[in-house]
Amino acid sequence: MDLVIKDTRVIDGTGGASYRADVAVTDGRVTTIHREGDAGPRPTGTRTLDGSGLALSPGFIDMHAHSDLALLRDPDHSAKAAQGVTLEVLGQDGLSYAPVDDRTLAEVRKVITGWNGGGPDDTSVDFDWRTVGEYLDRLDRGIAVNAAYLIPQGTVRMYAVGWDDRDATDAELDHMRRLVAEGMEQGAVGMSSGLTYTPGMYAKDAELTELCRVVAGYDGYYCPHHRSYGAGALDAYREMVELTRTAGCSLHLAHATMNFGVNKGKGVDLLTLLDSAIAGGADISLDTYPYTPGATTLVAMLPSWANEGGPDATLARLLDDATAERIRHHVEEIGSDGCHGVPMEWDTIEISGVSDPALAAYVGKTVAAAATERGEAAWATARRLLVEDKLGSTILQHVGHEDNVRAIMQHPVHTGGSDGILQGAKPHPRAYGTFPHYLGHYARDLGVMSLEETVAHLTSRPAARLRLPDRGLVREGYRADLVLFDPETVAAGSSFEAPRTLPVGIPHVLIDGRFVIEDGRRTDVLAGRSVRRPA
């Protein structure tokens, strides 16, 4: 054998009881599992690793990642590798970089600079792809961890329709169907939407249903960031359940939270809705991050009409005093669709990052606090920042509820997703801490779930959603994507005060049997590749 991990506690990803065993790896696969008490000789190998005191689990699967450019820009990528993540799902929230033409690529780079960098002046990545297949081929040159891809519906609409808030023509709808079909054929695992982000949010349900029918034809799944996580959250979840039922498409709900004051204690209502749909035959799963605040861009808080026409049109509206006052009225008094129908509370909006280093003094402050320092109204500060940072500012939104977080994470169809935005000087700690936070804080310290059940949520259940036949379990014949962690000490090092701190208690991470983390340090191994939809 290439490697034998001796005398370790195997938490195999099934949710069943753990057991002690020697686990052998050869040619990137688990080849032998010799349980304590089994007859016959224990396996031997070229290398032996003492696993006593450690737990061995499958590699963790991040079902909601924003590493679309980070994987290309940063070969180290310890933000995820050090957590034990061996596979990320990219292309989230309806906005990413394929499929595109030259115009669409230029526009999407502007729109999600706050998520990923990659703005017009960013030369750290050579955007030498246009199709989904070409992007996946680019990943195959070697990346830190594996990656799967969702076709971003907002980008597809940007490509075929543009930025207008209108129904697609028949020809445009046919174009979108072709783009989705081509992306699925080239290896995408499904389609995402960001239905509080323009231009994807301009699509009505009939249009989305037609695209989901295409996805269903390839046995993929639909992953919507739906139309409201606030005032209309339950109706928005219900809309997605009904839409995918009509389309015959599997549904995976992105960052399935119940946020804002109107939803305090209502996590159970969401789960009741999902249980009813599942009992009726619906194929549904969801992901969450184990924290209460959310994270997005400041411009996402604006009403959709303010973003119609693209980023240059948005900036023009913000520069016009009369139009800016209309935007303020919607944001602060009505509750914009960008802020989920809830009137803005500026003391919940913390600036986490800026694109222009000259604006760094804003980072770590709420908009309300920054406005007080400047002696002006909060909207004046927000407007100033949007304009001066060219819409590139990211925020933390402190609007979640711990009881909802705990209730939802215990559901049997739950999976883990970091929603990790790696940009900004003060990103959300979930980008660096989601998976150890599940294991240490919620499983070990609080006992919300057993360690075995928690590992299943982070491994086999997402692998099943992705239709991966040889990942997500510690099982003979499966890929040796493995994590060794200390159940007694594993914890997120990241915090809101120090969000880029790496976790503790995860000494070893392997992808295809190769160490990407060894003795707690990142190696130079780039074992990751694209993980494409099974043919």
Distances from the Cα of 184 to the Cα of 69, 130, 189, 217, 534, angstroms: 20, 15, 7, 9, 10
Going by C-alpha positions, the residue among 491, 404, 477, 400 that lies closest to residue 439 is 491
pLDDT at 178: 98
pLDDT at 281: 97
pLDDT at 517: 98
**pLDDT tens string 111-150:** 999 999 999 999 999 999 999 999 999 999 999 999 999 9
Whole-structure pTM value: 0.96
Distance CA 14, CA 30 (A): 16
Q: Low-confidence residues of the chain, pLDDT below 50?
A: none
From start to end of 379-532, where are the E strands?
394-397, 414-416, 482-485, 508-511, 514-518, 521-522
pLDDT at 1: 85
Distances from the Cα of 101 to the Cα of 108, 130, 158, 247, 371, angstroms: 11, 6, 10, 28, 40
Residue 102, Cβ neighbours under 10 Å: how many?
9
pLDDT at 357: 94
Q: Which helix (H) or strand (E) holds 433?
A: helix 430-437
Distance CA 257, CA 265 (A): 11
Phi, psi of 523 (to 5 degrees): -85, 180
CA-only gyration radius of the chain, Å: 23
DSSP state of 284: E
Residues 6+ apart with CB under 8 A from 215: 151, 180, 184, 190, 191, 221, 222, 247, 249
